[in-house]
Structure 1
């Protein structure tokens, strides 16, 4: 039983999926800057446990179509893709799992369509309930104008930096927010004026054990072909997503839910991360949390055995 690939027309775009196994449906949503390949360790483990595991290249990534208009990357589009994918697979329900940008897709899919998504797992990015004001406004009020979300807003700026030398970019991104970086690193999510996102990230002299040269080459070759704009457009809808999700203000996710993250992930580090996890508990009553000591942001790649065990235990407990 090996991984197979095909393309489907869903929600107005052509979507590439990788799949393995048979049984209840699990959808797995990757983040930025990733591909279906980020779930390479989870596909066989969940398939062997008796599930039909489907892993798309998300909208704008890899072999999936990338609409030119940045407005086509809102949370309603990405959740809509997952709803349409369930229907295209002739299923009536699914378990949804997401990492990084795929986590908000998974959380929001569970919140918006509890009839369809019966359980949810989010990795590295906790569910953030809708705030009283737009997210970028709140960051400005907190004096965080150098947070990387702002650097990603202007089309062409981050693309130019990342596409200058894609293999180096991928090595820096995959290593730079992992748990292998020295503890005294500068915050990699802050981009001071006049610098680029990659400036604070080192190229590792030797790749960590969890990341092979062929993994970097596979990711880099795909981004050399597609560029980075599709995924960056997700960030350009952050405030628009706030506007579009007004009908779900103060909504809760009541399905079985699991959150997995590494203790050395800069996304959840510090006071801001603590607050985000605390607010998640209010919006997702009963959410189970698994924190993996020493792991960084690429949790399912860095610690696949621990992640797989946590997910399988969660699925069994349902």
Structure 2
């Protein structure tokens, strides 16, 4: 969901004509650029602090369902602090890519390592051999983590927000001399277990891998603007039930304690899941971290593109064929300066 740093910068009501979207809600000093031929596609970026070529670079990577626009309150303070700040719309999001993304597209371009390749190509095209920090939020946290792990010479520090970095998958060790013994949980399938609960449930990331997910969110009964309002509200601190607590086991019964935006009812799509949590008109009017005018930037862009560009990344992450390539980095760790940030109600 969109990040917010309330009060970080005042947003001008005057149109910013240097941007591809959100022109009445983005501060002066932020501009758009389209960077051609970055790993085979055209990338759209928002940037500030570009006036001097000598400035150190900070790269900001958004999550799902987000845009580079999610960094609108973070970009200006970093630019004022002396950095050239670059926030791309990831492959398949917003104006980046320039073509419609479908469920039947080749998934290889959406792998984590290919997104690292995208980020390498982007900063190189803009004229940097390295960046002082790569910052990722939500899904972007995984991309940022892999940037730091795979190319610490380029990405000199990393900040991970909301989503912890799981690290490289391990390789089986010493199995030639000590064959592994089957465990009691071998073959267990959490998706099957969730579906067998008294109130059948499903994991949201599993749902995001299915063909109907994009259409359900793109053309929901309540309309895409109201869908996103309910979705972002449901996952925010404004929803009073967002009070995180540790689970005691990796089991279906424990996972069922999570909010329904994480563990959904089996027979519902995401549009139906979030609809009951639509905030009232007065609550919407009082929402300072995501006013209606700013939400319209998201609903207009996602209304134009759909969600499949982001959903394809969930499909890649759940497919062993693509995760196996990450074992090339088994045993490697993030060794550059790093930080993790999570919200109190996240």
Query: If the length of structure 1 is used for normalisation, what is the TM-score?
Result: 0.77
1:190-205 equivalence runs, <5 A:
190-201=263-274, 202-205=277-280
Take 2:265 and 2:170, find their aligned partners in 1: how far apart are those partners? Answer: 27
* Structure 1 position 258 matched with structure 2 position 339: yes
Take 1:138 and 1:43, find their aligned partners in 2: how far apart are those partners? Answer: 45
How far did 1:71 drift? Answer: 2.8
Out of 13, 18, 37, the position equivalent to 2:46 is 18
Aligned residues: 261
Take 1:256 and 1:80, find their aligned partners in 2: how far apart are those partners? Answer: 21
Contact kept? 1:103, 1:122, Cα under 8 Å? yes
How far did 1:141 drift? Answer: 7.9
Out of 146, 159, 162, the position equivalent to 2:214 is 159
* Structure 1 position 2 matched with structure 2 position 35: no
The equivalent of 1:189 in structure 2 is: 262
How far did 1:144 drift? Answer: 4.9
The equivalent of 1:122 in structure 2 is: 160
The equivalent of 1:85 in structure 2 is: 122
Take 2:135 and 2:259, find their aligned partners in 1: how far apart are those partners? Answer: 30
Structure 1 residues 144, 47: CA separation in 2 closer, same or farther (over 3 Å shift)? farther
CA deviations over 1:232-259 (Å, ceiling 9, x no partner): 1110101344212011112110101011
Structure 1 residues 166, 59: CA separation in 2 closer, same or farther (over 3 Å shift)? same
1:117 is paired with a residue of what secondary structure?
coil
The equivalent of 2:255 in structure 1 is: none
Find runs of 4+ consecutive structure 1 residues off by over 4 angstroms: none
The equivalent of 1:312 in structure 2 is: none
Structure 1 residues 109, 142: CA separation in 2 closer, same or farther (over 3 Å shift)? farther
Contact kept? 1:186, 1:200, Cα under 8 Å? no
Structure 1 residues 144, 90: CA separation in 2 closer, same or farther (over 3 Å shift)? farther
Q: Runs of 5+ in structure 2 lacking a partner? A: 1-27, 172-186, 196-201, 243-257
CA deviations over 1:272-292 (Å, ceiling 9, x no partner): xxxxxxxxxxxxxxxxxxxxx
Take 2:206 and 2:79, find their aligned partners in 1: how far apart are those partners? Answer: 39
The equivalent of 1:231 in structure 2 is: 310
Larger radius of gyration: 2
Take 1:221 and 1:234, find their aligned partners in 2: how far apart are those partners? Answer: 22
Take 1:230 and 1:211, find their aligned partners in 2: how far apart are those partners? Answer: 23
The equivalent of 2:325 in structure 1 is: 244
Q: Runs of 5+ in structure 1 lacking a partner? A: 266-318
The equivalent of 2:150 in structure 1 is: 112
How far did 1:130 drift? Answer: 3.3
1:93 is paired with a residue of what secondary structure?
coil
Structure 1 stretch displaced more, 29-38 or 232-241? 232-241
Take 1:143 and 1:248, find their aligned partners in 2: how far apart are those partners? Answer: 32
Structure 1 residues 170, 149: CA separation in 2 closer, same or farther (over 3 Å shift)? same
Contact kept? 1:130, 1:242, Cα under 8 Å? no
How far did 1:188 drift? Answer: 1.7
When the two chains are superposed, the root-mean-square deviation of aligned CA atoms in Å is 2.0
Out of 228, 234, 238, the position equivalent to 1:180 is 238
How far did 1:209 drift? Answer: 2.3
